[in-house]
Structure 1
Amino acid sequence: MGGARVSGRRVVITGMEVIAPGGVGMKEFWSLISEGRTATRSITFFDPAPFRSKVAAEIDFDPHARGLTPQEVRRMDRAAQLAVVAARGAVADSGLDMEAGDPAQVGVTVGSAVGATMGLDTEYRVVSDGGRLDLVDHRYAAPHLYSHLVPSSFTAEVAWAVGAEGPSTVVSTGCTSGIDSIGYAAELVREGSAQVMVAGSSDAPISPITMACFDAIKATTPRADDPASASRPFDGTRNGFVLGEGTAFVVLEELEAARKRGAHLYAEVAGYATRSNAYHMTGLRPDGAEMAEAIKVALGEARMEPDALDYINAHGSGTKQNDRHETAAFKRALGRRALSVPISSIKSMVGHSLGAIGSIEIAASALAMEYQVVPPTANLHTRDPECDLDYVPLVAREVAVDAVLSVGSGFGGFQSAMVLARPERSVR
């Protein structure tokens, strides 16, 4: 997906909400990342002693305090709970009166890489009596276990929560799910299939099974002595990513319709593209060709040259393979502009929430335009000669930000890029 525009319709973000490590809400999220603070810590959700990696970026999230009913909490996995709260928040922030419009013209797209991981992990421990039963006892299963097995339940929950009866889709493309969910939703608005899309992603994967999987391939960091500095994208001492959790949702509308109702315009989704390397489940080609191609196509759709970019929100996972691959992709796609454009990774502060991080990074990119500030890459003290671009170490930077590139890279070879542009502002 991504290429020439099929119509003249322009798509803008008019509402946002973020729930991320370090704070629940957009204000708290921006405060954390703009100040260069980190929310990585020793795991508290379970005993991490048996695992190689013992740190994560957890959210202090109380679903009851965020307006979910006891029945909703009982029915939904943690990732679905996060998604519903964030989607409701994004709609409230947009100022849309969902009851006044046609619900068939409102759609939902939800991205997730691993679905209801925490719910499934918990239920397996129950039905297997703590892993002691080879043949599990189904009588002990929760009545809503089926909804944990099908990721489409996330989309259904969000659609019910916001009153959407239009196109409803789940996008699961690994760690690019967050970008891809918003990109797909923007295309639906652009082509006229929906007037409004509520789009985002959610993952809550901090569970024993997830930690064991990443331990097995040594993708997560074993650094446990100082959890706050464990996530070190682009730093010469990095040795793996820090698993996180979170969600972000946006409201997308056609530009003229948003202007007509006096909506606040955070950003225009000016270009989007996704590619696959068709190479390896977890490996990356060192030249970054597929990510570079996605960047070029997204810029082409936005009708922008590389010099128009003011900031790049990097994937920046903190693995040696990814950071070098991404550096090569920027150079290949942007030429000389890659040497001077500010680039940073917010995963240094909020960890890597798998499918959710892409939409969280889109929100961060829009807020960078909102406040004209580029968030830093925390914990970047030691320069890696192979990551020789301007990765904005440690301290945020005031920059005139009118156009942002955000990229993602996922297991399975997925490579996605989105360009956000600063539209003319309207007053709330």
Structure 2
Amino acid sequence: MTTPRRVVITGMEVLAPGGIGTKNFWSLLSEGRTATRGITFFDPTPFRSRVAAEIDFDPYEHGLSPQEVRRMDRAGQFAVVASRGAVADSGLELAGLDPYRIGVTVGSAVGATMGLDEEYRVVSDGGRLDLVDHEYAAPHLYNHLVPSSFAAEVAWAVGAEGPSTVVSTGCTSGIDSVGYAVELIREGSADVMIAGSSDAPISPITMACFDAIKATTNRYDEPETASRPFDNSRNGFVLGEGTAFFVLEELESAVKRGAHIYAEIAGYATRSNAYHMTGLRPDGAEMAEAIRVALDEARMNGDEIDYINAHGSGTKQNDRHETAAVKRILGDHAYRTPMSSIKSMVGHSLGAIGSIEIAASALAMEYNVVPPTANLHTPDPECDLDYVPLTARDRKTDAVLSVGSGFGGFQSAVVLARPERKLA
């Protein structure tokens, strides 16, 4: 029986609110600072929710050409910048590899939302035309319509001619895109994968969608404290934007070339509850099943997990759901394991957040520091685990569980571990 190939992270780049670049991102998290603020991209006064976690991003400062800026939506720009940064961080010379053995997976929940929203305003003359005038459309508008353009742009940027795809599973897209990439390497379909996710959803149409179901917070008098995962006063999430990309490669080749290894992607699983578009069962059974299978794939027990990077969106039902799921699998060890939500600091960037949280998990292992849950002052009595309130904590971290939950009933889990661990 052939031993499955082990897959590790050897490069990463993060663009997140308050922290462009991996180093700045980690500084924000480890210092417990928040990047949520009143919306500046458009006039938010007509909306119930008026806060967001925005990125101060200039594409030209990050090396994009005028043609690339014209061609790509903001989320696509994020993806290209981050993928190039991850490759540079890895030290891998992709030009010297077989391009057919290099693949790309990109996660995104809502694709080119900002580009489509802006272009609709143009072709409809601000919504006044029932029949839009295509003569005013941008020449690359079709690229905004199809999320596959993200994978194409990243593949072009890094010279990848192997498997290339977009994974769109709502708010678990960022975990699922990485998990899919890992499986491609394990099965031998690729040697190197450029994997991650990107979303830039802060637009009027997105705010209207979440306003309609009251999923986002209406606490806009103090934007920096609006995201309150696990707190008894929480009342919805803060919309964010961002991206994180990784270079994934087989462990043996990474060791052979002397690469810096952040972590091994030891286990991954995803499940669907087939239950409700937005509703979650309180017992956490579906997320628990994803955690169980991810741990089995990693050949680990729940009591080997040192830190849990929570989905922690700040909605009442989600925080209780994943708390129940963690208890269901980890048992008593759940009460001894720190668990925190970085959405309290960088908001919820929909499909991008899963990859951003994988980056945070790998950096927690890199620095042996657990990032905090900001704005957690009075925990919900039903959320009774150790959520690392307010301040980061030093902790030796050899294995991390990161979980995600998405509208549509998607539940995903990924296990990161130090590659030097001994496998049973």
Query: Is this a same-fold pair by TM over 0.5?
Result: yes
Is the contact between residue 19 and residue 26 of structure 1 (CA under 8 Å) also seen in structure 2? yes
Q: Which residue of 2 aligns with 1:415?
A: 411
Is the contact between residue 7 and residue 191 of structure 1 (CA under 8 Å) also seen in structure 2? no
Q: Which residue of 2 aligns with 1:280?
A: 276
Letter in 1 for 2:31: E
Q: Which residue of 2 aligns with 1:216?
A: 212
Is the contact between residue 36 and residue 378 of structure 1 (CA under 8 Å) also seen in structure 2? yes
| Pair 1:13–1:229, CA change in 2 (3 A) | same
Q: Distance in 2 between matches of 1:308 and 1:424?
A: 14
Letter in 2 for 1:393: P
Letter in 2 for 1:94: S
Q: Distance in 2 between matches of 1:412 and 1:7?
A: 35
| 1:166-195 per-position Cα deviation (integer Å, ceiling 9, x unaligned) | 000100000000000000000001111100
Q: Distance in 2 between matches of 1:410 and 1:183?
A: 16
Secondary structure class of the residue paired with 1:333: helix
- Cα offset for 1:71? 0.3
Q: Distance in 2 between matches of 1:368 and 1:353?
A: 20
Q: Which residue of 2 aligns with 1:372?
A: 368
Q: Distance in 2 between matches of 1:150 and 1:285?
A: 33
**In the alignment, does 2:200 pair up with 1:204?**
yes
Secondary structure class of the residue paired with 2:253: helix
**In the alignment, does 2:344 pair up with 1:360?**
no
Letter in 1 for 2:262: Y
Q: Where do residues 377-392 of structure 1 align in structure 2 (5 Å cutoff)?
A: 377-392=373-388
- Cα offset for 1:6? 7.4
Q: Which residue of 2 aligns with 1:57?
A: 53
Root-mean-square deviation (CA), in Å? Answer: 1.0
Q: Which residue of 1 aligns with 2:30?
A: 34
Identity %: 83
Secondary structure class of the residue paired with 1:15: strand
Which aligned segments of 4 or more residues in structure 1 are displaced greater than 4 angstroms?
none
| 1:383-413 per-position Cα deviation (integer Å, ceiling 9, x unaligned) | 2100000000000000010000000000000
Q: Where do residues 99-248 of structure 1 align in structure 2 (5 Å cutoff)?
A: 99-248=95-244
Letter in 1 for 2:85: G
Letter in 1 for 2:6: R
What are structure 2's unaligned runs of at least 5 residues? none
Q: Distance in 2 between matches of 1:33 and 1:281?
A: 31
**In the alignment, does 2:341 pair up with 1:345?**
yes
Letter in 1 for 2:281: R
Q: Distance in 1 between matches of 2:168 and 2:276?
A: 18
Q: Where do residues 302-313 of structure 1 align in structure 2 (5 Å cutoff)?
A: 302-313=298-309
Secondary structure class of the residue paired with 1:64: helix
Q: Distance in 2 between matches of 1:221 and 1:7?
A: 48
TM-score for the superposition, normalised by structure 1: 0.98
Q: Distance in 2 between matches of 1:141 and 1:386?
A: 51
Is the contact between residue 4 and residue 187 of structure 2 (CA under 8 Å) also seen in structure 1? no
Q: Distance in 1 between matches of 2:131 and 2:97?
A: 51
What are structure 1's unaligned runs of at least 5 residues? none
Is the contact between residue 23 and residue 60 of structure 1 (CA under 8 Å) also seen in structure 2? no
**In the alignment, does 2:248 pair up with 1:252?**
yes
* Residue among 81, 84, 92 paired with 2:77: 81
Q: Distance in 2 between matches of 1:233 and 1:6?
A: 43
* Residue among 44, 51, 56 paired with 1:48: 44
